[in-house]
Structure 1
Amino acid sequence: MFKRRLLIGTLLMSVLSMTACGGAETSGPHGAEEAKSMLTTGKYEKKKEHEETSAEQSVSGAEDMNIISYTEENDKKVVAMYYPEFQQQNIDEQLDEFKTSKLNIFNELIKSEDVSKDFAPQLNMTFDANLLAENIYALQFVIDTYISEDTVFKETEIVMINTGTDSLLTEESLFSKNLNSREHLYNTLLGTMKTDLSIAPYLNEEKLRSWVLDEANNFSNVRFTDNIMEFTFEQGEIAADAAGKPAIEIPLTELLAAMPDAITQLIDGEYIEPSEDMPEEAAAEEEQKPAVYEIRELDKNLKMAALTFDDGPDNILTPRVLSLLKAHDARATFFLLGTKVNLFPATVEQTIDAGHEVGNHTWSHKDLTTISFNEITEEIVRTNEIIAETANIQPVIYRAPFGANTDAVDQYVPMTEVNWDIDTEDWLTHDPVQINQMIKNNISDGDIVLMHDVHDMTVESLDEMLQYLTDEGYELVTVSEILYYKNEVRAE
């Protein structure tokens, strides 16, 4: 069995800066005349990559790339378009269609616009090819359209391709659209900007969040340099005008969690190459890093409650709880003891597979206020490790045994602490009637409820409780979800 970590590299293609207008600052007849001496009318010119690019392009896979230039020049328009060719039928056909679509848009535009007879409209398309991983390219096209001396349209579009499968990742944008990915992108950008003294005093966090969460955002302000992503914003876009045009650089590795799985699995993971002694399906599987619970997209205006269960898992009672939750289409959070995870790993996997969240309840249920720093660390770390090993999930929340905690303890535990709003006292009464009455008397929107999935009577009370909460209009969610939607806190 042979394992190989995929390279993270960047291939910046030094495409000739042959613009139809002689440069971004040049327009009008002078630009058109300059273009006449540079362009060949109405034909393709293939230029081998080594003639156009720097020594950086010795990265694996780059030797198969050519640069195609499509040019037109006449009294009515000047066109210079550059795009890559990979000697792969499907990719090359689709990239040619991409070029043609942009050319058709330009032709339609100059028909509809009031074009001066003294100015030939110009279309210029260049690109950077960024090798994100073996066979995975982010092609960043920059399209400049000059309709007149005063009318300029600028567009940036990123196309992801996989030369290993001769395909475009047509469903993938540079950054994934799911909530967790966009939140990761926002937090990464925010953290970097807060450390930049030229941006931090002027930063508008709400504008930044809106920019990140905008589904129509095509991230045209992103540039690649080696393994760095550069973000450049317009004046006033995410900060006060005094900040000018904010620009930051972030290592690609810090942004992988915000990118689509189809890309990150190829960039960041390990893969097993096929060999004669192993099935092809197994060879394609990648080793997975522990994931974190993925918050669902919910209406924050819904009434919500989070049911939590401590001290498990139990190999008999926890599956019964899971069955009841499923019957009522409810999610919950289970705070696990490391010792029991070690005993009942299959139950933990069953809990995760059912869509519930798990948190850390320490290894052996010790009162954290009575033990040393080293013991606290061991209680938390051992539990996180056994959960990750068992279910490939990384808890981001914890609950101290007995709810016993202090600020001194908090500084040793780099996780979000979670207590409760309602204690059902199931551990005290062992009475389904009293447990349910505690809920009916006290429940309100945004509450976190404490229970234990190690008591028979708790399980006996659950069906009635779930039905009552559903009838009252509550969406039963996880702790991370209720923190996010009701308290605007991101557990981490």
Structure 2
Amino acid sequence: MNMRKVTYGILLILGIFVVGYLVYFILQGHDDSASEAINDKNIIEASKYPGVDLVTEITETKKYNIAMHYPKFKGEKANAEIEGYVSSIKEDFLAKVDENKKYIKDYVPELSLSMEIYPVMENVYSIVFSEENYVVGANAQQKGKVYLVDTKKGDFIQPTEIFKDTKQNREQLYVLLNQAFKESKEYSPLLLEGELENWAQDPDNHFKGMYLKGKSAVFQFDKYEVTAGAAGMPKISIPLDQMQNLLTDEWKEKLQIKNDKKETPKNSDDKNIAKGEKTDIDKHSSKGVKRVALTFDDGPHPKNTLKILELLKKYDAKATFFMLGNRVDFYPDVVKKIADQGHELGNHTWDHKDLTTLSTAEAIQEVERTNQAIKSAAGREPTVFRPPYGARNKAVENAISMPTVLWTIDTLDWKSHNPDQILKIVKENVKDGSIILMHDIHKTTVEAVEPVLKYLKKEGYECVTVSEL
């Protein structure tokens, strides 16, 4: 009798264990993000703008890729609004991916949220978001959103606080916008006048999409909102001195235009720069020396890039930095140091979009904006270009004048986050003429740089820029 009870007890315990294991297995099977995550990070960094930090969220899985950049303020109210906006974008994208999973076969859906910041006055900024996602269909979906934020108050400024929202003012605004569109060579053939008029007359839009930049008000429209799709998300700028009748008395005083002289940036001596680059090339052109090129993508980073520069200087090594324009805008001082220390400046587009999914005009804009940002920070434009994901086609190559440089060794630093693994890949694959790909946005990559430099020096390799290679 006692033996029978013991047997029943053992069977009961085993049954509970099996059921528990099955429940755990089922739950794990439904946790797609945990089981399929390839790269998942959330980074908060200080920016050059007082009171504004930069949040970077990267999620890469087998089913989708997400890259989001947005600001973080001191005020809880402002942060709650921004975080709600970011969360809604992400949720809508994931829902769309789930709804269309049976149609998604040979590609990975992508969501990109980038931002730009324009100082208006002390503690006041225009925050301009650009959202792009591709799940299904022929074209990527593009949307924008703007905020005017007072970081001291920790709250947002509504466009209707700046402009008097009356029927007469809306009619005047339509005339100004219509004229500006027609004077634009880019947008004039694509303008849908009826849609623009409807937008201007709609009292519920509250000047949606308006932000301040310099001495102008900029109106950003969604794709297809007032133009044909080929225009993307058009932006029309109207000088504030043409809009003084529309301004409230308070903001007319704040934005009064006096002695409007644009500061002329200091010109660099291009001849001296070219001569300096040639001297560097001559210095590294000794025959019989094995050469490799270290390249760093997706920066600059306010801490990691500076540490890498110190290590490169320590080992008398040169490198090439393929930088994102939206990060150059945040960290111009780091870009200046890269240039001043003799490293090569590379263009990696404005916000890491796959150029093969864009129109030629959009692809050119991604590259040209980055060229200008780098030139503004360093005094000279980049000399080489690397397309995000290595994605390119004839249209992209024909549109870009710089040499396109890919890589021969992918250290997979973004995936492993393991300095030992990064070094192992270099050891197993390096040879004379190798181009090594790393990312200076990862702390673990910084930890790998010195062991890599030590190994290359020991094996008789000289680290040069890709152009020198």
State TM-score, norm by structure 2. 0.41
Structure with higher helix content: 2
State TM-score, norm by structure 1. 0.39
Higher Rg = 1
